[in-house]
């Protein structure tokens, strides 16, 4: 009976290790984090706009400055991919807000890699454009 119990425990440990190493839920450094945009391609966001992103269990969402958005994401190592991003359809009349929102969502939808350093998140698209965030408390 002890051999069966030992084998069962070892199998469970092996399964946990394989899950952790294969991109399971333990490998997502963005899970359960919330961020506020500092810059789009090194330019600060427009005054009186708030652009945010939140990552929770494979879901991404937040404010794109005018509208709310949501979708799915996968992150592992320094790779990130977003999918199925949808947004509300409000029109904001302040100058530049819709263009800023379009630029933000374009980079986010083409996200390829990211860097996490000292409470800062950088997301890069395939053409090198970037989003820079600071962590929300």
> What pLDDT is attached to residue 18?
43
Break the chain into its structural domains and give their ranges: 28-135
Q: Please list, in sequence order, all residues whose beta carbon lies within 8 angstroms of the beta carbon of residue 59, skipping any fewer than 6 positions away.
A: 70, 71, 72, 73
CB-CB contact of 26 with 106 (8 Å): no
pTM given for the model: 0.79
pLDDT tens digits, residue range 45-102? 999 999 999 999 999 999 999 999 999 999 999 999 999 999 999 989 999 999 999 9
CA distance 63 to 88: 10
Q: pLDDT, tens digit, for every residue of 7-52? A: 554 444 544 444 444 444 458 999 999 999 999 999 999 999 999 9
| Model pLDDT, residue 23 | 46
Q: What is the CATH number of domain 28-135?
A: 2.40.128.270
Cβ-in-10-Å burial (0-12, 13-18, 19+) of 117 comes to exposed
Average confidence (pLDDT) over 104-133: 97
């Amino acid at each position: 009976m002890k051999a069966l119990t030992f084998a069962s425990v070892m199998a469970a440990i092996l399964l946990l290790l394989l899950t952790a190493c294969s991109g399971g839920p333990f490998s997502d450094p963005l899970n359960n984090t919330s961020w506020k945009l500092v810059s789009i391609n090194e330019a600060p966001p427009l005054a009186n706009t708030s652009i945010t992103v939140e990552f929770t269990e494979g879901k991404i969402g937040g404010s794109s400055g005018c509208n709310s958005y949501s979708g799915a994401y996968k992150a592992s190592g320094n790779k990130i991919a977003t999918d199925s991003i949808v947004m509300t359809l409000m029109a904001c009349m302040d100058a530049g807000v819709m263009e800023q929102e379009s630029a933000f969502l374009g980079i986010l939808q083409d996200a390829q890699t990211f860097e996490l350093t000292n409470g800062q998140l950088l997301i890069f698209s395939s053409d090198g454009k970037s989003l820079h965030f600071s962590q929300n408390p």
